[in-house]
């Protein structure tokens, strides 16, 4: 009769588990792999998992200084490593635990931006079904020259209520093979910023189509705002995109601490059903994300994208305009926050297309603003005409004055589309609008409104703007009233 030595079997199985292919005790997150971009001149967080109590030694090739730490009782470990100035020099980092070693290669040091939001941030260079990205073909074909200039980690979708530690999404270099799957806005932002500041730019794309802002906020914040989590979770047919907090827990939490320069944000279309709270919720979200990244003074850069023009089957209604108004308000109340105006980047035939084709201009405009505000490149042409004042003119006309129009407004011949006026009754009518060459003001009149009290510009779900300054930057939508419809 054969005698079974249980201790020997147990030892054999342990060794097999630790040495078997794919069962390594030392593990890194997907975002710490070959081709990664690390934020320059910071104490970069590098982390992973190992056997509890194991000693992990990290050695970056740029200074060859070893940094060691021990994994905690759950096997988690992390270290901080000082990164050098940005360059196109590829580096490597080794991670060693006992006899086991992982080396990640082709690491660049540059500027890293976390780009988050819903489908207009998610929209890849290849486009969505029957919804292309304008000009993407030639840009994809030539993207191989950006291999060491633009890289992106496209984070896998997640939908868990509990905070997660791991999420998929490996870094990819720009190339005709990889670029079609890159976020179009993220790609064009990175390409333009790289062209301006001449250092590698990496994008962590954390996007999920159709999501409301509530999905990107932790539960404790939504509890304070009175959201009913139990009722929401009881809705069996609720779309994953509309589940509270799950995008924060599943897609943001696993990345917390990865060294970044700031955040890029394109979201809001799914909040047209509840626009009134958007500024408050975004303010809370930005503060929490900044706190998560150790930003003690709430100043880590945050740049929004204005919601695109989309009819929502009622082009002349204003719910989408109310969200844009909230976004503009947030840009003013959140410290170190900006917004990129997009109201002129929608073609008339796109009234029923929520994914506009013109992503290049959006990415470039955002990069111009970031280049000046965060990198000190003076003279960037990112400022848009913004409403300043309304004054009574002659013969029943009114004059609208704008900021950021030092060299005038255009078109300065013919009528400017998009203006409406109302008397005290609050009923808006299309206005005749002409630019005064001498004052850079817009003169408004309307035969149906004898005494103009209020003015709106592009304040509808869908109303492509035509008013621009001399740099071609569009006038921001605005209104002088506070009506709900």
Query: What is the residue-level pLDDT of the chain in tens, covering all 485 positions?
Result: 444 454 444 444 444 344 444 345 999 999 999 999 999 999 999 999 999 999 999 999 999 999 999 999 999 999 999 999 999 999 999 999 999 999 999 999 999 999 999 999 999 999 999 999 999 999 999 999 999 999 999 999 999 999 999 999 999 999 999 999 999 999 999 999 999 999 999 999 999 999 999 999 999 999 999 999 999 999 989 999 999 999 999 999 999 999 999 999 999 999 999 999 999 999 999 999 999 999 989 999 999 999 999 999 999 999 999 999 999 999 999 999 999 999 999 999 999 999 999 999 999 999 999 999 999 999 999 999 999 999 998 789 999 999 999 999 999 888 999 999 999 999 999 999 999 999 999 999 999 999 999 999 999 999 999 999 999 999 999 999 999 87
Q: Is residue 362 domain-shared with residue 247, that is, in the same domain? A: yes
CATH code for the domain in which residue 65 is found? 2.60.40.10
Domain boundary among 375, 405, 440: 375
- The answer to whether residue 8 is domain-embedded is no
Dist CA 428 CA 430 (whole Å): 7
In which domain, by residue range, is 66 found?
23-107
Please give the structure tokens belonging to residue 397.
């006309």
List C-alpha distances in Å: 352 to 185, 241, 274, 347, 417: 20, 21, 20, 11, 20
Domain boundary among 62, 85, 107: 107
List C-alpha distances in Å: 325 to 263, 269, 287, 482: 20, 13, 20, 11
> What letters, b where the CB count within 10 A reaches 16 and e where it falls short, cover 196-212?
bbebbbbbbbbbbbebb
Q: Is residue 34 domain-shared with residue 103, that is, in the same domain? A: yes
Cα end-to-end distance, the chain, whole Å: 88
Provide CB contacts within 8 A for 239, sequence distance 6+. Answer: 210
Which residues make beta-bridge pairs with 48?
A: 77
Domain boundary among 107, 142, 167: 107
3-state secondary structure the chain: CCCCCHHHHHHHHHHHHHHCCCCCCCECCCCCCCCCEEECCCEEEEEEECCCCCEEEEEECCCCCCEEEECCCCCEEEEEEECCCCEEEEEEEEEEECCEEEEEEEEEEEEEEEEEECHHHHCECCCECCECCCCHHHHHHCHHHHCCCEEEEECCCCCCCCCCCCCCCCEEECCCCCHHHCEHHHHHHHHHHHHHHCCCEEEEEEECCCCCHHHHCCHHHHHHCCCCHHHHHHCCCCCHHHCCCHHHHHHHHHHCCCCCCEEEEECCHHHCCCHHHHHHHHHHHHHHHHHHCCCCCCCCCEEEECCCCCCCCCCCCCHHHHHHHHHHHHHHHCCCEEEECCCCCCCHHHCCCCCCCCHHHHHHHHHHHHHHHHHCCCCCCCCCCEEEEEEECCCCCEEEEEECCCCCEECCCCCCCCEEEECCCCCEEECEEEEECCCCEEEEECCCCCCCCEEEECCCCCCCCCCEECCCCECCCEECCCCCC
Q: Is residue 236 domain-shared with residue 320, that is, in the same domain? A: yes
Q: Is residue 115 domain-shared with residue 86, that is, in the same domain? A: no
Q: Is residue 132 domain-shared with residue 251, that is, in the same domain? A: yes
CATH code for the domain in which residue 314 is found? 3.40.50.1110
Q: Is residue 164 domain-shared with residue 294, that is, in the same domain? A: yes
- The answer to whether residue 16 is domain-embedded is no
What's the pLDDT score for residue 4? Answer: 45
- The answer to whether residue 14 is domain-embedded is no
Q: Is residue 201 domain-shared with residue 233, that is, in the same domain? A: yes
Beta strand pairing call for 337-340 and 302-305? parallel
- The answer to whether residue 348 is domain-embedded is yes
What's the pLDDT score for residue 24? Answer: 53
Quickly count: other Cβ atoms within 10 Å of residue 149's Cβ.
21
Q: Is residue 226 domain-shared with residue 135, that is, in the same domain? A: yes
- The answer to whether residue 309 is domain-embedded is yes
- The answer to whether residue 441 is domain-embedded is yes
Q: Is residue 162 domain-shared with residue 182, that is, in the same domain? A: yes
- The answer to whether residue 12 is domain-embedded is no
- Number of domains composing the chain: 3
pTM (predicted TM-score): 0.94
CATH code for the domain in which residue 423 is found? 2.60.40
Quickly count: other Cβ atoms within 10 Å of residue 41's Cβ.
12
Q: Is residue 287 domain-shared with residue 429, that is, in the same domain? A: no
What's the pLDDT score for residue 484? Answer: 81
Q: Is residue 145 domain-shared with residue 230, that is, in the same domain? A: yes
Cβ–Cβ under 8 Å, residues 310 and 427: no
Q: Is residue 209 domain-shared with residue 353, that is, in the same domain? A: yes
Which residues make beta-bridge pairs with 271?
A: none
Which residues make beta-bridge pairs with 89?
A: none
Provide CB contacts within 8 A for 177, sequence distance 6+. Answer: none
Dist CA 266 CA 305 (whole Å): 5
List C-alpha distances in Å: 318 to 187, 421, 463: 31, 15, 10
* Residue in the block written with tokens 């003076």: 378
For the chain, how many residues are written? Answer: 485
- The answer to whether residue 412 is domain-embedded is yes
């Amino acid at each position: 009769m054969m005698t079974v030595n249980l201790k020997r079997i147990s030892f054999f199985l342990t060794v097999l588990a630790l040495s078997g292919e794919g069962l390594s005790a030392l593990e890194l997150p997907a975002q710490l792999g070959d081709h990664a971009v690390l934020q320059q001149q910071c104490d970069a967080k590098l982390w992973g998992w190992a056997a509890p109590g194991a000693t992990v030694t990290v050695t970056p090739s740029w200074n060859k200084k070893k940094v060691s730490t021990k994994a905690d009782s759950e096997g988690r470990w992390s270290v901080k490593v000082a990164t050098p100035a940005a360059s196109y020099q590829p580096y490597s980092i080794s991670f060693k635990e006992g006899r086991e070693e992982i080396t990640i290669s082709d690491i660049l040091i540059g500027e890293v931006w976390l780009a988050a939001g819903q489908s207009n941030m998610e929209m890849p260079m290849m486009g969505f079904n029957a919804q292309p990205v304008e000009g993407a073909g030639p840009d994809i074909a030539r993207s191989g020259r950006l291999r060491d200039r633009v890289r992106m980690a496209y984070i896998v979708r997640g939908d868990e209520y509990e905070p997660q530690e791991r999420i998929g999404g490996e870094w990819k270099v720009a190339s005709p093979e990889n670029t079609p799957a890159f976020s179009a806005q993220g790609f064009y932002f990175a390409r333009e910023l790289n062209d301006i500041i001449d250092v590698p730019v990496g994008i962590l794309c954390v996007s999920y189509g159709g999501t409301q802002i509530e999905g990107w906020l932790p539960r404790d914040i939504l509890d304070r705002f009175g959201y009913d989590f139990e009722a929401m979770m009881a809705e069996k047919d609720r779309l994953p995109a509309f589940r509270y907090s799950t995008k924060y827990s599943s897609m943001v939490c696993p990345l917390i601490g990865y060294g970044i320069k700031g955040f890029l944000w394109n979201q809001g279309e799914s909040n047209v059903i509840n626009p009134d709270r958007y500024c408050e919720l975004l303010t809370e979200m930005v503060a929490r994300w900044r706190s998560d990244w150790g930003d003690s003074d709430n100043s880590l850069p945050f740049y929004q994208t204005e919601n695109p023009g989309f009819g929502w089957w009622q082009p002349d209604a204003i719910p989408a305009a109310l969200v844009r108004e909230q976004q503009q308000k947030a840009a003013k109340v959140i410290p170190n926050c900006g917004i990129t105006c997009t109201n002129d980047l929608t073609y008339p035939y796109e009234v029923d297309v929520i994914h506009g084709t013109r992503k290049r201009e959006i990415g470039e405009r955002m990069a111009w603003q970031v280049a000046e505000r965060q990198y000190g490149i003076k003279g960037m042409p990112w400022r848009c005409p913004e409403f300043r004042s309304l004054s009574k003119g002659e013969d029943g006309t009114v004059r609208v004055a704008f900021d950021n129009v030092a060299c005038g407004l255009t078109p300065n011949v013919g009528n400017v589309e998009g203006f409406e006026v109302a008397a005290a009754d609050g009923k808006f009518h299309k206005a005749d609008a002409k630019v005064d060459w001498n004052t850079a003001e817009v003169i408004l009149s309307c035969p149906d409104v004898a005494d103009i009290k209020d003015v709106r510009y592009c304040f509808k779900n869908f109303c492509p703007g035509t008013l621009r300054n001399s740099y071609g930057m569009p006038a921001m939508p605005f209104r002088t009233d506070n009506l709900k419809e």
